């Protein structure tokens, strides 16, 4: 007899799932009966939040949904934060959990791991949460989940399986096939209207977000056809090459870039929700789009949020960009403003570059050194100072190589487990670097042991400023006496060594270069600690 749990694993394999993150428990062991006989790799984190962050990082590098097996009750409350981060950034994640037997649901009898309504609790950080009331429902609910991942705005999906359903006879489902869904095409009438707006523009501009990440070549050609400056959100970094003359970077929160955006007569926003942390990170507002706004998004609801458009197109970003290019090629484009395009972008960078303060320059030098030594690396960041600086100053040549938790949901501790997942998702052996502060690392420090056990050679760059320095500055600036921000700093090198990692503290550029080269040649994780004060003294830029 094949149980529902075993058929679930078979179906996941048929959908291309090759990796699962989870911590086995008495309520999920029936999932592992099928997993042991599959080709799916399993990685055991040290906390369910770590499982979710690993699945998130995995999905960001390979584009496939990250899958988690999670126990009912505390497992689900633990993973909720990671689901919130993925929900905010539109990351595909499939969380499969157990739940009490059908006759016990909501019973309040003090059963192990019992919650009054687990699905309702998690619904706020999921595209949907579904309770599987019989094994026969399994193919249909998986088809719903993967239809969302393949053709909609991807966000976490939660499927909970009652304990008695997990062991239900599912022989009749052994022949179930996956359902594949194509993404939405671009309505020709809307494409024609949008291309007419863009063709007539004298000063067009493009705002691109993570929702367009697979349309990088088309976006580049579109920008060049229109001579349009391009601003990228944090999750879209790398869609235009770092040296491209039309690249504004991710500087939309700065006054000079806002002035450039305000000069545009037509603005195309593609795959971006135009959210606060990419456009108004000061929390004071001020980002305005006075020109005609055109929006392209896979989610119809999102096309009218934050900034209402003159015209919206619901479609896959890549398909829409290809359709716009084809339509523009049939039109005669007017002469552009000669001071626009690459000329205006060059003026912007000439204005911005001298404004970086000493700390920003030192932190940018730190990350440029990393990229010089590890040119193919993926950089996974937490909420920490070098990440804040590099969000503004660092540009990359390829997408899916820079993402972090400093925007959107903004959780701490994300970077370490997400970097582990990113290395597993990338699958090409290239380095993955975790950028994290001493405060953030203490949220998920035990995941170093997960990396050791899984033989994941993640390189952890620990920026140590002995506490929550950014929050301390924020309190001081608001005339609040700092409380709770000067936290105890452990011996990170000693802890990492005890967990089985290579670890060292370094000072200056040359030590950093040597440490990175050594780390890149190891089979397991490395922690490299950088003292902020000593780094600033050594580089003095």
Digit-coded pLDDT (tens) for 17-36: 999 999 999 888 899 998 98
Q: Are residues 343 and 194 in the same domain?
A: yes
Burial track 400-412 (b if 16+ CB lie within 10 A, e otherwise): bbbbbbbbbbebb
Q: Are residues 221 and 279 in the same domain?
A: yes
Q: Are residues 153 and 48 in the same domain?
A: yes
pLDDT on residue 275? 86
The string of DSSP letters for 446-460 reads THHHHHHHHT---EE
Q: Are residues 78 and 195 in the same domain?
A: no
Q: Are residues 139 and 61 in the same domain?
A: yes
Instruction: Find tokens 């030192």 and name the residue.
Output: 362
Asked if the structure places residue 269 within a domain, the reply is yes
pLDDT on residue 439? 93
Q: What share of the chain is helix, strand, coil (3-state, %, to 5)?
A: 45, 15, 40
pLDDT on residue 390? 95
Asked if the structure places residue 178 within a domain, the reply is no
Q: Are residues 150 and 26 in the same domain?
A: yes
Alpha-carbon distances, residue 125 vs 79, 238, 462 (angstroms): 10, 28, 29
User: Which of the listed residues 349, 378, 406 is the one where a domain comes to its end?
Assistant: 349
Asked if the structure places residue 257 within a domain, the reply is yes
Asked if the structure places residue 181 within a domain, the reply is no
Contact indicator for 281, 253 with CB cutoff of 8 Å: yes
d(CA 269, CA 309): 9
Element (H, E) at 462: strand 459-464
d(CA 122, CA 141): 17
Tokens for 28?
Answer: 């999920």
Sheet holding 402-404, edge to edge: 402-404, 378-381, 432-437, 459-464, 526-531, 502-506
Q: Are residues 26 and 157 in the same domain?
A: yes
Asked if the structure places residue 462 within a domain, the reply is yes
Alpha-carbon distances, residue 309 vs 268, 306, 312 (angstroms): 10, 10, 6
pLDDT on residue 281? 63
Contact indicator for 23, 31 with CB cutoff of 8 Å: no
Burial track 157-196 (b if 16+ CB lie within 10 A, e otherwise): bbbbbbbebbbbebeebeebeeeeeeebebeeebbebbbe
Q: Are residues 308 and 332 in the same domain?
A: yes
Position 482 pLDDT exceeds 70:
yes
Asked if the structure places residue 9 within a domain, the reply is yes
Contact indicator for 441, 414 with CB cutoff of 8 Å: no
d(CA 86, CA 57): 9
Confidence of residue 427 (pLDDT cuts 50, 70, 90): confident
Q: Using alpha carbons, select from 42, 48, 14, 1 the residue that is nearest to residue 138.
A: 14
Average pLDDT, the chain: 93
pLDDT on residue 469? 80
d(CA 408, CA 405): 7
Contact indicator for 41, 403 with CB cutoff of 8 Å: no
pLDDT on residue 66? 98
Percent of the chain with pLDDT strictly greater than 70: 99
Q: Are residues 305 and 375 in the same domain?
A: no
Residues in CB range of 425: below 8 A, 6 or more apart: 19, 57, 58, 59, 60, 61, 62, 64, 66
Alpha-carbon distances, residue 527 vs 21, 52, 456, 497 (angstroms): 23, 22, 13, 9
pLDDT digits (tens, 9 = 90+) for 172-183: 989 889 999 998
pLDDT digits (tens, 9 = 90+) for 303-323: 998 899 999 999 999 999 999
pLDDT on residue 104? 76
Position 282 pLDDT exceeds 70:
no
Contact indicator for 463, 530 with CB cutoff of 8 Å: yes
pLDDT digits (tens, 9 = 90+) for 320-336: 999 999 999 988 888 88
Give the dihedral of Cα atoms 404, 410, 413, 414; nearest 10 deg.
-40
d(CA 528, CA 462): 6
User: Which of the listed residues 125, 144, 173 is the one where a domain comes to its end?
Assistant: 173
Provide the domain limits for residue 105.
4-173
Contact indicator for 21, 422 with CB cutoff of 8 Å: no
Contact indicator for 81, 144 with CB cutoff of 8 Å: no
d(CA 359, CA 362): 5
Q: Within 10 Å of residue 72's Cβ, how many Cβ atoms? A: 24
Asked if the structure places residue 180 within a domain, the reply is no
Q: Are residues 300 and 400 in the same domain?
A: no
pTM of the model: 0.94
d(CA 405, CA 420): 15
Domain harbouring 428, CATH code: 3.40.50.970
pLDDT digits (tens, 9 = 90+) for 94-133: 999 988 777 777 777 877 777 888 888 999 999 999 999 9
How far is CA 514 from its chain centroid? 29
Q: Using alpha carbons, select from 149, 141, 135 the residue that is nearest to residue 91.
A: 149
Average pLDDT over residues 440-455: 97
Residues in CB range of 86: below 8 A, 6 or more apart: 52, 55, 56, 59, 66, 92, 93, 125, 155, 156
Task: Decide which of 477 and 420 is more confident.
Answer: 420
Task: Decide which of 362 and 108 is more confident.
Answer: 362
pLDDT digits (tens, 9 = 90+) for 490-513: 999 999 999 999 999 998 899 999
Average pLDDT over residues 199-211: 96
Q: Give the phi and the psi of residue 242 in degrees, each rounded to 5.
A: -60, -30
Tokens for 487?
Answer: 């936290």
Q: Are residues 283 and 370 in the same domain?
A: no
Number of separate domains in the chain: 3
Strand 156-162 to 204-208 pairing: unpaired
Domain harbouring 271, CATH code: 3.40.50.1220
d(CA 356, CA 435): 20
Q: Are residues 149 and 212 in the same domain?
A: no
Contact indicator for 507, 364 with CB cutoff of 8 Å: no
Contact indicator for 263, 241 with CB cutoff of 8 Å: no
SS3 459: strand
Tokens for 481?
Answer: 């006496």
Q: What is the DSSP letter of 381?
A: E
pLDDT on residue 284? 61
Percent of the chain with pLDDT strictly greater than 90: 79
Confidence of residue 155 (pLDDT cuts 50, 70, 90): very high
Asked if the structure places residue 179 within a domain, the reply is no
Task: Decide which of 408 and 177 is more confident.
Answer: 177
User: Which of the listed residues 349, 381, 407 is the one where a domain comes to its end?
Assistant: 349
Position 283 pLDDT exceeds 60:
no
């Amino acid at each position: 007899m094949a149980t529902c749990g075993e058929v679930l694993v078979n179906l996941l394999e048929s959908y291309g799932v090759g990796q699962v993150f989870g911590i086995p428990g008495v309520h999920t062991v029936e999932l592992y009966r099928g997993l042991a006989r599959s080709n799916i790799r399993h990685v055991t984190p040290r906390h369910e939040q770590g499982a979710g962050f690993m699945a998130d990082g995995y999905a960001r590098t390979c584009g496939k949904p990250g899958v988690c097996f999670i126990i009912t009750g505390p497992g689900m409350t633990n993973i909720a934060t990671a689901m919130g981060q993925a929900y905010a950034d539109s990351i595909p994640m499939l969380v499969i959990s157990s739940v009490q037997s059908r006759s016990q649901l909501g019973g309040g009898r003090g059963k192990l791991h019992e919650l009054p309504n687990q699905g309702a609790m998690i619904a706020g950080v999921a595209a949907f949460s579904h309770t599987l009331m019989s094994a026969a429902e399994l193919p249909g609910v998986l088809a719903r989940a993967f239809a969302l991942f393949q053709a909609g705005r991807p966000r976490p999906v939660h499927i909970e399986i009652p304990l008695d359903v997990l062991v239900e006879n599912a022989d009749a489902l052994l022949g179930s096939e996956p359902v594949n869904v194509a993404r939405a095409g671009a309505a020709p009438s809307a494409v024609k209207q949008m291309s007419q707006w863009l063709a007539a523009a004298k000063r067009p501009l493009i705002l691109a977000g993570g929702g367009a990440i697979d349309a990088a070549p088309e976006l580049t050609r579109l920008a060049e056809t229109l001579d349009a400056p391009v601003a990228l959100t944090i999750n879209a970094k790398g869609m235009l090459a770092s040296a491209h003359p039309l690249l504004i970077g991710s500087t939309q929160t700065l006054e000079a870039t806002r002035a450039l955006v305000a000069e545009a007569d037509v603005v195309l926003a593609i795959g971006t929700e135009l959210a606060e942390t990419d456009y108004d990170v000061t929390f004071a507002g001020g980002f305005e789009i006075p020109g005609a706004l055109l929006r392209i998004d896979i989610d119809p609801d999102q096309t009218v949020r934050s900034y209402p458009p003159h015209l919206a197109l619901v479609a896959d970003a890549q398909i829409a960009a290809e359709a716009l290019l084809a339509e523009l090629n049939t039109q005669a484009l007017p002469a552009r403003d000669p001071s626009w395009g690459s000329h205006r972008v060059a003026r912007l960078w000439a204005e911005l570059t001298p404004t970086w303060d000493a700390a920003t320059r030192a932190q940018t030098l730190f990350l440029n050194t990393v990229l010089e030594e590890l040119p193919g690396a993926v950089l996974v960041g937490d909420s920490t100072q070098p990440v804040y600086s590099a969000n503004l100053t660092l540009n990359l040549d390829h997408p899916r190589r820079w993402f972090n938790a400093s925007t959107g949901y903004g959780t701490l501790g994300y970077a370490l487990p997400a970097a582990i997942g990113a290395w597993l998702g990338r699958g090409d052996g290239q380095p993955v670097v975790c950028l994290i502060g001493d405060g953030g690392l203490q949220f998920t420090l035990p995941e170093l042991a997960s990396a050791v056990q899984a033989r994941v050679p993640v390189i952890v760059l620990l920026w140590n400023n002995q506490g929550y320095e950014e929050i301390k500055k924020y309190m001081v600036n608001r005339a609040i006496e700092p409380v709770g921000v000067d936290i105890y700093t452990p011996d990170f090198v000693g802890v990492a060594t005890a967990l089985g990692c290579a670890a060292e503290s370094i000072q200056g550029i040359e030590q950093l270069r040597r440490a990175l080269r050594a780390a890149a040649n190891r089979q397991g994780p490395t922690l490299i600690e950088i003292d902020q004060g000593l780094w600033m003294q050594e580089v003095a830029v």
